[in-house]
Structure 1
Amino acid sequence: MSIANVFKKFPKTFWVANTIELFERWAWYGFFMLFANYLTGSSDAGGLEFTQTQKGMIMGIGTGILYFLPVITGSIADKYGYKKVLFIAFCIYTSAFILLPMFDTFTGVFIMYLYLALGAALFKPVISATVAKTTNDETASIGFGIFYMMVNIGAFFGPMVTLLFKNSSYDLVFNISAAIVAVNFILLIFYKEPNRKPNTDSLAKSVINVFKNITLVILDFKFILFLLIVAGFWTMYNQLFFTLPVFIAQWVDTSVIYNFFHNYMPFFSENYGAHNGQMEAEFIVNFDAMFIILFQIIVSSIVMKWKPLRTMMTGFFVCAIGMALTLFTQNVLFTVAAIYIFAIGEMAGSPKITEYIGRIAPADKKALYMGYSFIPVFLGNVFAGFIAGGVYQQMSDKTAFVKQEVAKRRLSLPENLSQNEYFNQAAERMNMTSHELTNYLWTSYNPSRIWMVILSIGLFAVVALFLYDKFIMNKKS
C-alpha cells in the first residue's frame, strides 16, 4: 500500500493530535533548551545565578517526576475523558509558563517547575494514547513515525524562536512558550474523543491499582534489571539539555561559527549570536534536533532489520562517544561533529528500547510492561540531574573555578557583583583578558574531565546490556 493511501486512512483526530503535539513540543523545548543557562547564568544577562547543584536538582528531580506521573495521570484521563484532561493540562501549562519567571528563589522556581511538570504529565499519556487509538496494525508504523517527526520539528523550531528574544528578556522566552502552547486551546475545539474504555473505578482505586501494577513490574527481576541498564542511556542523553548548554556557554569558543554566519548568512549571527562575537550555546546544541530531522529516516532504514539488542548496544556506544566528545574540547567545530555522532547513536538506539521491551515482556503482560517503560526515563532524569549538578560543579564549573583562583591569589573583589562582572574584574586583577582567563582555567583545572564520567556511564550501559542478554536472558535477541 502506498504512503498516500495510508495517509487517507488516518482520521481527523489523528492529525489534530499530531498538530497539538507539535505546538506542545515547540513550547516545551523553546524554554527547556534555555533552562539550564537561565538557572545558572549571570544576573546581568537575565540568569538566576543558581549553583550547578541547584540546577541539577530542579531539572533532574522535576523532569524525573514529569515522567513518573503519567502512569497516574493516564488513569485520570481514562476516568474523566481525554478532552477534559487536555484542557486542564493546557491551563496548567499556560499559567506555569507565565508564572515561572516571576520567581527567583530556588524554592519558588522549584515549586513552579513542578507545577509545569504536572501539566506536561497530564498531557503526555493522553496524546500518545490518542495516536495509538487512531492507528491500527496497518497504519501504526507510519502513524508513530509522523508523531515522532512532529516531536523533533517542535524540538528544533522551539529554541530557534525563543532564542530570538533571549537577549531582550528571559520573561519573553517564557511568555512565548505560553502563547505557543495556548494555540492548543483552539485546536482542542477540533479534537474528537477517540474510542476508549471508560474507567468506572473510583479515582482512589485507580491510583491504588497503578501502584499494585508497579509492584508487579518491580518484582520481575529480569525486567527491572533491563530498565535500570537503560536508565544509563537516559542519564547520558539528558546531558544534552542539563550540561551541554552550560559547558558551551562557559568554555567553548564559538567565534568560528559566528564569523562564518556573519560573512555568509548574517541573519543567524545577528539573531543567534551574543554581543561578544560568540554564538548562543543553545543554538549549537540545537544541531542535534536538526540532524535528527535530516537523517532519522536514513538511520531507521539502515537499522530496521537489525536485532533490537544489537542496535541498542551500537546506539548507546555511539551516543556515549558523541556526548563525551562534546565535553572534550573548546573547539566548536569539534563540538558540532560530536553532536552529530551523538545524534546518530540516538537515532539508532532510542527507538529500539520500546521494541525490545515488547520482546522480553511476558506474552500475557505486554501492555502492562509497555506502560511502565517510563521507569528508565524517570531514573535517567534523576541521575542526570546529579551528574549535571554536583558532579559538574566539582569538575567543570567555571564560576566555581574562578572563585577558587581568586581565593588562591588572595585577591579582594567587591561584593554583589554579577557572575560576568566578577569574572571580568577577576581577569583584570590577574592582568588577563576574559578569553585568556578562560583558557588559563581550562588548562589549570581541566574541566573537560567530565567527559570521562559521561563515557563511563555509556560504556557501562553497553557492557551491562551485553552481559544481561548473555547471562540473564540466555538467548539471542
Structure 2
Amino acid sequence: MKFLSVLKNYNTTFWAANVIELFERWAWYGFYMAFALYLVNSKDTGALGLTQAQKGIIMGTGSMLLYFLPVITGAIADKVGYKRILFLSFSVYITGFYMIGSFETFGWMFFAFIWTCIGGALFKPIISAMIARNTTAETSSIGFGIFYMMINIGGFIGPFIAGVLMQKSWDFVFYMSIITMGINYFITAFFFREPIIKEKGSSLLKSIANAFVNIGITLQNWKYVLFLIIMILFWTAFNQLYYSFPVFVEQWIDTSPLYDGIHAVWPWLAEAIGTSDGTITSVTLGSMDAFFIIVFQLMVSALVMRFRPLAAMMGGILVLAGGLALMFSNQNSWLILLGILIFALGEMASSPKFTEYVGRIAPEDKKALYMGTSFLPIAAGHQLAGWLSGGVYERIADDVYLLKQEVAKRGLSIPEISDTFSKNDFISAAAEKMNMTNGELSRFIWETYHPSNIWIVYAGVAVSAVVLLWIYNRFILAK
C-alpha cells in the first residue's frame, strides 16, 4: 500500500520525463546495438564495409563525447532552460539518425555520429535532473527505480525491434529511431513543465567555465582520481557488449540451434524474432542483456545491498568478466546466451554500486560535483573500448583480416576489397580458390587462427579492474 501511496505523489512532469527517457533509450539503443554491424558488414548487405579500426574510431570518439560533454551541456540547460534544450536535442538526434542512414564514407559517418552524440549529450543531464527535481526524500528511491526501469525497457525494446527490421533494410532501423525520437516532441510540448527559473547574473560562458573549475576542484582528491582511473577498465570491458559482441556473433556464431530450441517450445516467438534462415540476429541476442536486467535487477539489488559498495563492485565485475569469457570464447549459441545472463548479473551488481560509492565518499558539500565527474571514466572507457574493438579486435578476431593472412600465406590472387568487390565477394572468392564452402572456410579460420582468444583480452581487462580495486581498497583506503 505504501508503494501505491508513493505513486500518487508523482506529478505529470515526473511521468513525462520517464516516458521521454523510455523513447529516447528506445531510439538510441535500437540503432546503437546494430551500429557496429552497420559500419563493418559487407557492402552488398547494405552496410558500409568499413574496417574494425575505423569502426572503433567512430564509436569510441563519439561515445566518449556523449559522456564528457554533459559537463558543459548541463550548465547550458540551467541557463537556457530545459525545455528548449530538449527540443534542440531531439532535432540534433533526428538529423543525426538521418545522416547516419544516408552517408557512406568514413569521414562523413564520423561527422554524423559525432553530431548524433552531441544530441545525446544535450539530453543526458536533463532527464536525470528532472527526476531529482520532481521527487522528495520520501519518493526518490522508488522514483529513481522507475527511471532505471524505463531505461532498460527502452534498451530492450529498441534493439529487439531493430534485430527484426535490419533483416528487411538498414533504413528501417534508422526510420524507427527517427519516429521514436519524434514522439518525444509531442510529449515534451504537452506534458513537460519547465522546472527552473532561469539563472540570471553570470553569463553562459562563465557558467561553463565554472563547470570546469569545479571538476578541477574535485579532481584534487588523488584517491578519488585513482578510483576513477581504475573504473575506466570496467567501462572498457562493459562496452564490448556494443562494440564487439554483435560483430563477433555475426562473423563466427551459428545461432540456428538457439532458434531451433526456442521454436520447439514457442514456435510463434522464434518466428517473430528470428530470421527467414532460422537464426537469431546478434542484435536481438544482445538485447537480452536489458531483458535480464528488467527481470532480475530487484533481486540482485536486494542481494548486494548487504555488501559494501566497493566489495559489491569487485564481485560484480568479476562475474561480468565470466560472462565476457563465455560470450567470446566459444561457438555454442546457448552458452553465449548464458554468458549474456552472467554478464547482466555482473552489470546489475556493479554498475549501480559505482554510482552509490561515488555518492557515499563525496563530501557533503560536493556531492553534485563528484557525481558529475563520475561520468569521466565512462567517457574514457568508451574511447579505450573503441581502440580495443578496433585494431586489437581486428588483428585477433576479424574474419576478413585473418582470411587475408591465409590468402597471403598461400599466395592466392584475389582482388582487393573495394566499392565493387565486397567483403562477402572476397570471402567467396577465397573459399572457391581453397576448394571449400563458405562454412568450411569459416571453420578452418576458427580452428587455425583462434579468434576466440579475444575473450582473454576483454575478460582480462575486467579482471584487472578487480585486482586494482582490491589493491586500492587494501593499501590505499586502509591508510
Pick which of 356-365 and 454-463 moved more. 356-365
1:407 maps to: 408
Tell me the distance in 2 between the aligned counterparts of 1:7 and 1:222. Answer: 40
What is aligned with 2:399? 398
1:421 to 420, 425, 428: 425
Alignment-derived partner of residue 48 in structure 2? 48
Q: How does 1:159-170 map to 2 (within 5 A)?
A: 159-170=159-170
Which residue pairs with 2:5 in the alignment?
5
Moved more, 158-167 or 123-132: 158-167
* 2:81–2:198 contact (8 Å) kept in structure 1: no
Task: In structure 1, give the amino acid aligned to 2:456.
Answer: M
Q: CA deviation at 1:372?
A: 1.3
Deviations 1:305-361 (A, max 9, x none): 221111001001101111122100011111111111111110011101111112222
Q: Which residue is equivalent to 1:99?
A: 99
Deviations 1:104-158 (A, max 9, x none): 1111000010100011000010111000100111111110000010000000000
- Identify the residue that residue 130 of structure 2 maps to in structure 1: 130
Distance, in Å, in 2 between the alignment partners of 1:5 and 1:269 is 40
Aligned to 2:300: 299
Q: Is the 8 A contact 2:25 2:158 kept in 1?
A: yes
Q: Which moved more, 1:436-445 or 1:418-427?
A: 418-427
Matches within 5 A, 1:184-195: 184-189=184-189, 190-195=191-196
Match of 2:449 in 1: 445
Distance 2:410 2:314 in 1: 48
Which has the higher mean CA deviation after the structures are superposed, 402-411 or 60-69?
402-411
Q: How does 1:353-432 map to 2 (within 5 A)?
A: 353-414=354-415, 416-432=420-436
Superposed displacement of residue 286, structure 1: 1.4
Matched residue of 1:466: which SS? Answer: helix
Residue deviations 1:61-116 (CA, integer Å, cap 9, x gap)? 11011000001000000001101110110111111111221111111000010100
Query: Does 2:65 align with 1:65?
Result: yes
Match of 2:465 in 1: 461
User: Would you identify which runs of 4 or more consecutive aligned residues in structure 1 move more than 3 Å?
Assistant: 261-277
Partner SS, residue 311 of structure 1: helix
Cα 1:370/1:387, change in 2 over 3 Å: same
Shift of 1:413: 2.7
**AA of the residue aligned to 1:42:** S
The DSSP-based 3-state class of the residue aligned with 1:37 is helix
The farther-off stretch of 282-291 and 146-155 is 282-291
Q: Distance in 2 between matches of 1:363 and 1:135?
A: 20
Q: Measure the CA separation in 2 of the matches of 1:53 and 1:41.
A: 13
Any idea what SS the aligned residue of 2:8 has?
Answer: helix
Opposite residue 345 of structure 1, the aligned amino acid is G
- Kindly provide the amino acid, as one letter, of the partner of residue 34 in structure 2: L
Query: How far apart, CA to CA, are the structure 2 residues paired with 1:266 and 1:40?
Result: 32
Deviates more, 1:109-118 or 1:272-281: 272-281
Deviates more, 1:198-207 or 1:288-297: 198-207
1:258 partner SS: helix
Q: Give the 5 Å matches for 1:7-406.
A: 7-189=7-189, 190-195=191-196, 198=199, 200-406=201-407
CA distance in 1, matches of 2:380, 2:261: 40
Q: Which amino acid in the other structure matches residue 20 of structure 1?
A: I
Once the two structures are superposed, residues 11-32 of structure 1 have per-residue CA deviations (whole angstroms, 9 ceiling, x without a partner) of: 1110000000000000001100
CA, structure 1 residues 241+15, in 2 after alignment: closer, same or farther (shift >3 Å)?
same
Native 8 Å contact 1:45 1:167 kept in 2: no
Q: What are the superposed Cα offsets for residues 217-276 of structure 1, whole Å, 9 maximum, x if unpaired?
A: 222211111111111111011000000000001111211012234444444444543454
Q: Distance in 2 between matches of 1:45 and 1:84?
A: 39
Work out the CA distance in 2 between the residues paired with 1:55 and 1:267: 35
Structure 1, 288-297 or 270-279: larger mean CA deviation: 270-279
Query: Structure 2-normalised TM-score?
Result: 0.96
| Separation in 2, partners of 1:414, 1:54 | 21
Inter-partner Cα distance in structure 2 for 1:315 and 1:392: 25
Q: Do the aligned residues in 1 keep the contact of 2:164 with 2:274 (CA within 8 Å)?
A: no
Per the alignment, do residues 273 and 419 of structure 1 end up closer, same or farther by CA in structure 2, a change over 3 Å counting? farther
Task: Give the letter aligned to residue 427 of structure 1.
Answer: A
Query: 1:72–1:207: 8 Å Cα contact kept in structure 2?
Result: yes
Question: Partner of 2:329: helix, strand, or coil?
Answer: coil
Question: Bigger shift: 42-51 or 358-367?
Answer: 358-367
Partner Cα distance (1:345, 1:262) in 2: 29
Q: For residues 317 and 360 of structure 1, do their structure 2 counterparts lie closer, same or farther at Cα, with a shift above 3 Å needed?
A: same
Distance in 2, Cα, partners of 1:197 & 1:6: 29
> How far apart are the structure 2 equivalents of 1:99 and 1:227?
34
Contact 1:69 1:121 in 2 (8 A): yes
Where in structure 1 are there 5+ consecutive unaligned residues? none
The amino acid that maps onto 1:81 is G
* Aligned counterparts, 1:464-475, within 5 A: 464-474=468-478
Find the aligned partners of 1:272 and 1:423 in 2 and give their Cα distance: 28
Question: In the aligned structure 2, how far is the partner of 1:389 from the partner of 1:360?
Answer: 35
